[in-house]
Amino acid sequence: MSCERFKFIDLFSGIGGIRIPFEKLKGECVFSSEIDEACQETYRANFGEKPEGDITKIPPKSIPDHELLLAGFPCQAFSIIGNQKGFADTRGTLFFNIEEILKEKRPRAFLLENVKQLRTHDGGKTYNVIHKTLQGLGYNVYTKILNSLNFGVPQKRERTYIVGFLENLDFDFPQGEKEYNLADVLEEDREVSKSYFASDYIVKRRREAIKGKPPMPSIWHENKAGNISALPFSCALRAFASYNYLLVNGRRRLTEREMLRLQGFPESFKIVVNYSKMRQQTGNSVTVPVIEAIAQNMLEAMGLKKKGKRGKK
């Protein structure tokens, strides 16, 4: 893989899911920011540095120069799981901190990630504000919703990705054509602690609710209405869902390592927080292989990577 070196910043960095593929492609992270202390702990254990804290208190001028700005900016303000207040929610306005950094530092390109509902929130008005703001800064903007299932990861996770370039470049989003296999993600039940297994009552209730013979292996999902489905992939990991909303083969919760695998994190990724925190962190994270596919196409368009097989529009 032939890539030229470049510098990037990692905003709202979480546990570093966006950083991993850009570093793999010879990028150097010169600044990171994350307000959550538990995420900072995981980030430091895996990257050897503690992210800066609250981005709203960091002057844009103090941020090092960079060629790419990367940000999985907070999505709760636009999510169907939240109240969908958008820019009326303080977390929604954090987008404007990204705007100020783009205005001050003028990186060649950016990649932003958010929930699928960003495109349709408030009748499309929220996205239109974001799009016009980015265009007003001189960027050529591309947006697409991608599903992690199409990138070799057994998780149905649809997210909005926004890419922008100061130059007028030939960029396509990757289509994603890799097959997934849930069995590759799961551990053997005999190797999993009994503490992960659901109560007999929950297991019995789930089995009674399933019609027909479920696929094996499968992830059994209970939605907010109480409906239960058994699928050969996981529904989207969520940070603050019930502990038992996803059960492996209807019997047990996902382990920390399985959750990381569902987001495409490498096996070497260190787990340094408790189960509850890791569930929140993976639920808020990005899917690494999706980011890597986008990153490759971005770097090709920018002339930082030799062109290979490109995804279709």
Give domain limits for the chain.
6-179+283-301, 188-254
User: Alpha-carbon distance 107 to 104, whole Å?
Assistant: 9
Mean pLDDT of the chain, nearest integer: 91
User: Alpha-carbon distance 39 to 76, whole Å?
Assistant: 17
Candidate from 15-24, 28-37, 186-195, 219-228 with smallest mean pLDDT: 219-228
| H helix runs in the chain, sequence order | 19-24, 37-47, 95-105, 125-136, 200-209, 256-262, 275-284, 288-301
Please determine, for residue 118, whether its predicted confidence score (pLDDT) is greater than 70.
yes
CB–CB of 270/189 below 8 Å? no
Q: What is the pLDDT of residue 313?
A: 40
254: left (phi over 0), alpha (psi -120 to 50) or beta: beta
Given pLDDT bands bounded at 50, 70 and 90, which one contains residue 307?
confident
Helices (H) and strands (E) in the chain, counts: 8, 11
State the average pLDDT over residues 30-39. 98
For residue range 68-97, what is the model confidence (pLDDT) as tens digits?
999 998 755 544 444 545 455 434 568 889
Return the bridge partners of 117, or none: none
User: Alpha-carbon distance 255 to 267, whole Å?
Assistant: 13
Return the structure tokens found at 277.
């925190």
Q: What is the value of pTM for the model shown? A: 0.92
Query: Residue 32: helix, strand or coil by DSSP?
Result: strand
Given pLDDT bands bounded at 50, 70 and 90, which one contains residue 3?
confident
State the average pLDDT over residues 210-235. 92
Given pLDDT bands bounded at 50, 70 and 90, which one contains residue 49?
very high
Within 13 Å, how many C-alpha atoms sit on residue 27's CB side?
27
Catalytic residues: 75
* DSSP letters spanning 161-227: EEEEESS----------B---GGGTPPPGGGS-GGGBPPHHHHHHHHHH--SPPPSS-EEEE-TTS-
User: Alpha-carbon distance 95 to 231, whole Å?
Assistant: 35
Please determine, for residue 298, whether its predicted confidence score (pLDDT) is greater than 70.
yes
Candidate from 24-33, 65-74, 86-95, 203-212 with smallest mean pLDDT: 86-95
The Cβ of residue 74 has, within 10 Å, a number of other Cβ atoms equal to 22
Query: CA angle at residue 83 from 82 to 84, to 5 degrees?
Result: 95
Which superfamily does 6-179+283-301 belong to?
Vaccinia Virus protein VP39 (3.40.50.150)
Please determine, for residue 44, whether its predicted confidence score (pLDDT) is greater than 60.
yes
CB–CB of 1/31 below 8 Å? no
Q: What is the pLDDT of residue 84?
A: 45
State the average pLDDT over residues 96-106. 95
For residue range 136-171, what is the model confidence (pLDDT) as tens digits?
999 999 999 999 999 999 999 999 999 999 999 999
Please determine, for residue 172, whether its predicted confidence score (pLDDT) is greater than 60.
yes
Q: What is the pLDDT of residue 312?
A: 44
Q: What is the pLDDT of residue 243?
A: 83
For residue range 232-286, what is the model confidence (pLDDT) as tens digits?
999 999 998 888 899 999 999 999 999 999 999 999 999 999 999 999 999 999 9
Q: What is the pLDDT of residue 242?
A: 86
Output Rg (C-alpha) for the chain, integer angstroms: 20
Q: What is the pLDDT of residue 166?
A: 98
